[in-house]
């Protein structure tokens, strides 16, 4: 009995040490690669004319369904439109389209900063920035930074439109709320104005195995809750107070940018689909991003450009990034 218990205990310790070492190694590699990437800051700004993309798709389809006479007529119309566009190019307003697909850390905020900076250097007063936003939310500091990048557009007195096709909740809605207008598809998920945090605690498991964990801090609330040690009611209460502070700041942010919203009615952590979100003034119109941009193009009054800043990653860095995302999905 004693021998079996000792062997089981030894295997438990080995498992804990192995997992801990694996986590430390992975995170060390990620931190090192991240630091190297920041020093190198290798990235590329890609610009795509959406006007040309629309024209090309129209011509490809027309080539299949029109007869030769109709197709030649369409080509002639395109040529005339191109000449007119080139002649009046400077007089037309520009629509700059940005895609933001948010993860839990809002890691695309760095690319967003580059995209906004590029646009602000060339934009005219009557231009518009459209951000196609997809995010279920995540870390408050990451999404706070991303929202601040979008706020730069408004500070430059440019029109900012946020379009939500599927979901912009929590931190995603924090970003969207900065916009002059928010457009959502009918079944897009919007809202979740709340704060959540969860932390596993394995103190009892360790105690049952005879493992003691010591935690030393300087400062009464340097660590309120811990994964390994025994948590106190005082620590839990302080942790909840910190969450309430973040929630209050979140509500103030929404109120500042969308003063028509009844904040206490919507800041419950709930989410709504498009139509309900419209009734609650969380969004301003129901439409997909494709419909909104195509409508702009068909007026013939806008040059539409997709602006994307891509940060180059090595295959190994991409693998480490995927591993980090796995830890984030299964972690707190």
Which residues are identified as catalytic?
A: 170, 222
* Segment (H or E) for 95: strand 93-101
* Token duo for residue 103: 């993860």
According to DSSP, the residues that pair with 131 across neighbouring strands are 98, 162
* Token duo for residue 126: 């009557």
Say how many C-beta atoms besides its own lie within 10 A of residue 144's C-beta: 18
DSSP code for 89 = T
According to DSSP, the residues that pair with 286 across neighbouring strands are 184
* Token duo for residue 42: 């290798």
Question: Could you give the CA distance from residue 204 to residue 211 in angstroms, rounded to a whole number?
Answer: 9
Beta-strand (E) ranges in 115-259? 128-134, 159-164, 167-169, 181-184, 189-191
Of the candidates 275, 297, 306, the one whose C-alpha atom is nearest the C-alpha of residue 184 is 275
Query: Is 292:91 a contact under the CB 8 Å cutoff?
Result: no
Residue at token pair 């004319």:
49
């Amino acid at each position: 009995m004693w021998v079996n218990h000792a062997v089981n205990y030894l295997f438990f310790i080995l498992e804990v040490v192995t997992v801990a070492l694996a986590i430390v190694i992975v995170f060390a590699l990620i931190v090192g690669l991240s630091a190297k990437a920041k020093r190198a800051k290798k990235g590329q700004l890609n610009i795509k004319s959406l006007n040309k993309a629309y024209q090309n798709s129209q011509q490809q389809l027309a080539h299949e369904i029109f007869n030769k006479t109709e197709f030649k007529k369409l080509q002639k119309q395109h040529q005339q439109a191109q000449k007119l566009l080139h002649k009046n190019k400077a007089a037309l307003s520009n629509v700059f389209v940005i895609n933001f697909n948010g993860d839990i850390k809002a890691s695309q905020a760095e690319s967003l900063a580059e995209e906004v900076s590029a646009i602000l250097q060339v934009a005219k007063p009557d231009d518009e920035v459209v951000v196609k936003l997809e995010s279920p939310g995540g870390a408050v500091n990451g999404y706070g930074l991303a929202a601040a990048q979008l706020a730069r557009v408004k500070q430059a007195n440019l029109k900012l439109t946020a379009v939500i096709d599927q979901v912009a909740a929590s931190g995603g809605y924090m970003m969207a709320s900065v916009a002059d207008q928010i457009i959502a598809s009918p079944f897009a998920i919007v809202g979740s104005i709340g704060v959540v945090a969860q932390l596993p605690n394995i103190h009892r498991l360790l105690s049952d195995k005879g493992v003691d964990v010591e935690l030393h801090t300087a400062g009464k609330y340097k660590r309120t809750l811990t994964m390994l040690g025994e948590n106190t009611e005082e620590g839990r209460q302080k942790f909840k107070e910190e969450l309430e502070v973040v929630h209050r700041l979140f509500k103030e942010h929404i109120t500042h940018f969308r003063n028509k919203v009844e904040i206490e009615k919507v800041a419950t952590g709930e989410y709504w689909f498009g139509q309900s979100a419209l009734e609650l003034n969380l969004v301003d119109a129901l439409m997909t991003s494709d419909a909104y941009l195509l409508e702009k193009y068909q007026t013939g009054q806008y040059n539409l450009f997709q602006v994307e800043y891509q940060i180059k990653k090595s295959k190994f860095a991409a693998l480490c990034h995927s591993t980090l995302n796995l830890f984030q999905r299964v972690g707190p």
